[in-house]
Structure 1
Amino acid sequence: MLLFGLCRRVRNPGPGLTRWWKQWGARKGMSSVVTKVSAQSGATSAPNAATDRIVGKWMIVCSGTVVGAVVLGGVTRLTESGLSMVDWHLIKEMKPPSTQAEWEAEFQKYQQFPEFKILNHDMTLNEFKFIWHMEYSHRMWGRAVGLAYILPAIYFWRKGWFSRSLKLRVMGLCGFVCFQGLLGWYMVKSGLEEKKDSHDIPRVSQYRLAAHLGSALVLYCASLWTGLSLLLPPKQMPNTGQMLLLRRFARGTGGLVFITALSGAFVAGLDAGLVYNSFPKMGERWVPDDLLAFSPALRNFFENPTTVQFDHRILGIASVTAVTVLYALSRRMPMPRRTKIAISSLLAMVYMQAALGISTLLLYVPTPLAVTHQSGSLVLLSLALWLIHELRRVPK
């Protein structure tokens, strides 16, 4: 038993035995043996600055894949392609139809659902192939996003590159990716169901669309914040009353930008961009007559296209105003160059985004311009998040 215990002790040397062995090995010229034993005793490495940079870059790449998914989802929505695939299989649907018979069978399945019966009853097979490929691309991209999160996470976990807090965060992000995929199918199902009124235009529920977009934005923000935290060293800011005010105002502005982007999901879900295509007035009035046409009044904010567009306009104007005030406040304070760049970039982007939104509205929502406007909301949200990260309080 004594010999067995000694053998185990040599195979897994503790700190004391390793220190004694190094001292003895230095005297006997056996430092290389010590190095070999130490390397064999630890299969993983602890997190350090180098591993943090690698993990941080991975998080930035992951957030970029989420951006791609959101943009591609917007294109799918604008081309009315989202209901072309009427079932969902994690593995089976990864292989697209390849023969004429397979395409005809897929088309026949689509013909059994409301979108074909009400809107696309004269659609040809070639036209169906286009919208099918659009939705297929979006779904395959979603699977790629999942792999981009999960596979490197397993590798880095095995390497021991995650701290305890980072392990919890990565587990949450990977779980959220899976949830996002399920939520996407739950959204699509709402557009495949028969409506009470057989003449209603088939579309996905705007509530589920907003939930799907909102969860994607949360996933994106959490991934980007994690990447920035690992890659950008914190800057010490003076904790004055002005800085505290600026920090709080920046957080509020970031929240406003997030809500404005999320309200765009209701605009898209109700095709609210196709009503009142004028600016700054809505038709001939500042406040349209049908703003509160639904009863109870609360329904208007989520189901009335006029109210939804009106809300999106107000939120957009509020975002422009908030960023402008934020920039004006920052001009009176000394701060690092990187922080000044973040504020200036945010100011330029919010005005560009407003111009894109107004142009999209006036031109009756052309697909390229609408996609650019949606992408601009992600850029604006990214810059707001970067600024909040720059202004965060550094723990002493």
Structure 2
Amino acid sequence: SVSHYRLALHLITALFLLSYIFWLYQVSGKGIKWDMKNKHVFNFGLALFIILCIQIIYGAFMSGLKAGFAAPTFPLINESILPSIAFKHEPLYMNLFNNKIMIHFIHRTLGFLIMVMGCYLGYTLIKEKAKHTLKSGILIILIVCTQVLLGIITLLSFKNGTPIMLASLHQITAIILLLCILYILIRSKNSIPSFADSKVYDILPEKNSDNQSQN
């Protein structure tokens, strides 16, 4: 079986590249052009983005350790909020990385925390009453609630074997949510317009040069 550490590293590296490409696309001016410049939204969104990254890492741990089979129950973890077996490894901190039950607990807890934070972020965007923030707020709320529901359904499906399709859909939805939050971060950051004058665009091809080369 694949090491859950390597699986997590592979996934995070891929998401970093995807996020960087998405960021370049947005700040290049090719994305939808609107800027909210809301410091509160940016700070809260950044916290949510970091927590979601940690959650994705624990999702990789869940997958690599096949932890779904260890406790395919909800809302309790094998009839307990936090079973004592979650602390079986020594030293104790190793339970955070190698104990299937502890990883279950962390993944579930972070999932609900992200849902609450995501709904709050969405509500904050909706209150802005602008066209793009309204759509973004509704979209984030829908995606984060769908993601939690998918997680629960996927978990319960482990009673009947490995739910590959559901697990894959759960991962894809997590990636979409990550990009949505990154999008909000880009659009709410006060200094985003300054990127337009930076040398980051030197690596992006210009349309004029492309047209000249074709001629």
Question: Given the two structures, how large is their TM-score scaled by the length of structure 1?
Answer: 0.46
Q: Which amino acid aligns with 1:378?
A: I
- The separation in 2 between residues aligned to 1:236 and 1:351, in whole angstroms, is 26
1:352, CA displacement in angstroms?
Answer: 0.5
In 2, Cα distance between the equivalents of 1:258 and 1:328?
22
Q: Which residue of 2 aligns with 1:340?
A: 134
CA offsets 1:58-108 (integer angstroms, 9 cap, x no match): xxxxxxxxxxxxxxxxxxxxxxxxxxxxxxxxxxxxxxxxxxxxxxxxxxx
1:205 to 2:15 alignment: no
Report the alpha carbon displacement of residue 232 of structure 1 after superposing the two structures with TM.
2.4
Instruction: Tell me if 1:314 matches 2:109.
Output: yes
Structure 2 equivalent of residue 226 of structure 1: 24
Point out the structure with max Rg over C-alpha: 1
* Other structure's SS at 1:251 match: helix
1:280 to 75, 95, 102: 75
Paired amino acid for 2:131 = R
Q: Is the 8 A contact 2:125 2:136 kept in 1?
A: no
- 2:87–2:95 Cα contact (<8 Å) kept: yes
Aligned equivalent of 1:248: 43
| 1:233–1:378 distance in 2 versus 1, CA, 3 Å | closer
What's the CA shift string for 1:214-254, capped at 9, x where partnerless?
A: 111111111111112221264343x6xxx321221011112
| Unmatched segments (≥5 aa) in structure 2 | 195-215
Contact kept in structure 1, 2:124 and 2:137, CA below 8 Å: no
Shift of 1:392: 1.9
8 Å contact 2:42–2:185 — kept in the other structure?
Answer: yes
Letter in structure 1 aligned against 2:104: Q
* 1:289 counterpart residue number: 84
Q: Is the 8 A contact 1:339 1:391 kept in 2?
A: no
The 1-side partners of 2:140 and 2:127 are apart by 17
Pick from 359, 368, 373: which aligns with 2:153? 359
1:385 corresponding residue in structure 2:
182
2:203 corresponds in structure 1 to none
| Residue 372 (str. 1) matches residue 169 (str. 2) | yes
Q: Which has the higher helix share?
A: 2
% same residue? 29
Question: 2:123, 2:32 → 1: CA distance?
Answer: 26
SS of the equivalent of 2:25 reads helix
Cα separation, 1, equivalents of 2:35 and 2:117:
25
Contact 1:210 1:265 in 2 (8 A): yes
Residue pairs, 1:166-205, within 5 angstroms: 203-205=1-3
The answer to whether the Cα contact below 8 Å between 1:356 and 1:369 also exists between their aligned partners in 2 is yes
Distance 1:339 1:330, change over 3 A: closer
Q: Is the 8 A contact 2:58 2:107 kept in 1?
A: yes
Pairwise mapping of residues 1-396 of structure 1 onto structure 2 (< 5 A)?
A: 203-230=1-28, 231-232=30-31, 234-237=33-36, 243-334=38-129, 336-364=130-158, 365-393=162-190, 394-395=192-193
**C-alpha displacement at 1:327, in angstroms?**
2.2
Higher relative contact order (CA 8 A, sep 6+): 2
The residue number in structure 2 matching 1:96 is none
- Pairwise CA distance, 1:330: 2.9
Separation of aligned partners in 1, 2:163 and 2:102: 21
Residues 357 and 373 in structure 1, CA contact (< 8 A), matched pair in contact too: yes
Q: 1:366 to 1:227 in 2, by over 3 A?
A: same
- Aligned CA distance change for structure 1 residues 236 and 301 (closer, same or farther; 3 Å): closer
**2:126 touches 2:138 (CA, 8 Å); kept in 1?**
no
State the 1:206 CA deviation: 1.4
The CA distance in 2 between the partners of 1:331 and 1:337, in whole Å, is: 9
CA contact (8 A) 1:342 1:386 kept: no
The AA in structure 1 aligned to 2:142 is A
Aligned partner letter, 2:31: L
Say how many residue pairs are matched.
Answer: 189
**What letter matches 1:390 in structure 2?**
R
2:134, 2:52 → 1: CA distance? 19
- Aligned 8 A contact 2:126 2:133 in 1: no
